[in-house]
């Protein structure tokens, strides 16, 4: 049932794509359904250009017949479709369960519009049930861990199922920082970004313009006021 809801949310968001758009595709299990939907409808947008937030997304997109363009030559996108680990009523989210939050934030910041897609289990009243991923320079692993602990986190180095250190597409490490309920996400984002060696974090506080949330087979579209 959860996968059915993810598929419904993803397909609803894909309907926002128009021919000629520059579209960023995020990462994660819900985005996989968006990639499949784009692949089925690709002929509707012959002049659209697609960009990827991770090598995993690039591989999935190409397998679905979607050409992925080079983002390094871009400064602005029209639309980004991406999943979330959690999202609150103020459209603030935690992302990075797939380890691609640094690239995801770059594309989200470049986009005129970012839409989040999720099943109903991702809606929360207060952020913090999920850990906040922090991408870190390997050289600064212990230093950043101590600094995040001072901010109230229980940082855990992300590992692969094979028991090796997880590496991002940039070759960096991830600390999954468990804060519990986050009273002031904006303050925490500033404090995390100020740590030398912390290259990016999974708090997305202003990027999301709209969300498609599906629960029990019903998709609800929510727009952030003032966007």
Binding residue ranges for substrate: 27-30, 82-85, 95-98, 122
The closest of 196, 35, 170 to 102, measured between CA atoms, is 170
Alpha helices in the chain (DSSP H): 2-14, 29-41, 55-63, 101-110, 141-150, 185-193
Residues designated catalytic: 104
User: Can you read off the two tokens belonging to residue 157?
Assistant: 């180095």
CA gap 221, 211 in Å, rounded: 6
Task: Say if residues 122 and 89 touch (Cβ distance below 8 Å).
Answer: no
Collapse the DSSP code of 119 into the 3-class scheme (helix H, G, I; strand E, B; otherwise coil) and give the result: strand
Distance CA 176, CA 62 (A): 30
Least Cα distance to 34 among 214, 227, 166 occurs for 214
Comparing C-alpha atoms, which of 80, 62, 97 is closest to residue 202? 97
């Amino acid at each position: 049932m959860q996968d059915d809801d993810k598929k419904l949310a993803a397909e609803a968001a894909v309907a926002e794509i128009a021919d000629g758009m520059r579209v960023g595709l995020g990462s994660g299990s819900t985005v996989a359904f968006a990639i499949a939907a784009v692949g089925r409808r690709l002929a509707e947008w012959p002049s659209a250009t697609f960009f990827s937030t991770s090598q995993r997304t690039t591989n999935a997109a190409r397998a679905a017949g979607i050409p992925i363009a080079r983002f390094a030559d871009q400064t602005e996108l029209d639309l980004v479709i991406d999943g979330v680990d959690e999202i609150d009523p103020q459209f603030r989210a935690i992302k990075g369960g797939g380890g691609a939050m640094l690239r995801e934030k770059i594309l989200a910041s470049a986009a005129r519009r970012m839409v989040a897609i999720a099943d109903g289990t991702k809606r929360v009243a207060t952020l913090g049930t999920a850990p906040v991923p922090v991408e870190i320079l390997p050289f600064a692993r212990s230093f950043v861990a101590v600094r995040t602990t001072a901010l109230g986190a229980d940082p855990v180095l992300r590992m692969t199922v094979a028991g090796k250190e997880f590496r991002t597409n940039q070759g960096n490490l991830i600390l999954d920082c468990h804060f519990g309920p986050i009273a002031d996400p904006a303050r925490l984002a500033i404090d995390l970004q100020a740590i030398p060696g912390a290259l990016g974090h999974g708090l997305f506080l202003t990027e999301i313009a709209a969300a498609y949330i599906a629960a029990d087979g019903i998709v609800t579209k929510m727009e952030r006021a003032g966007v």
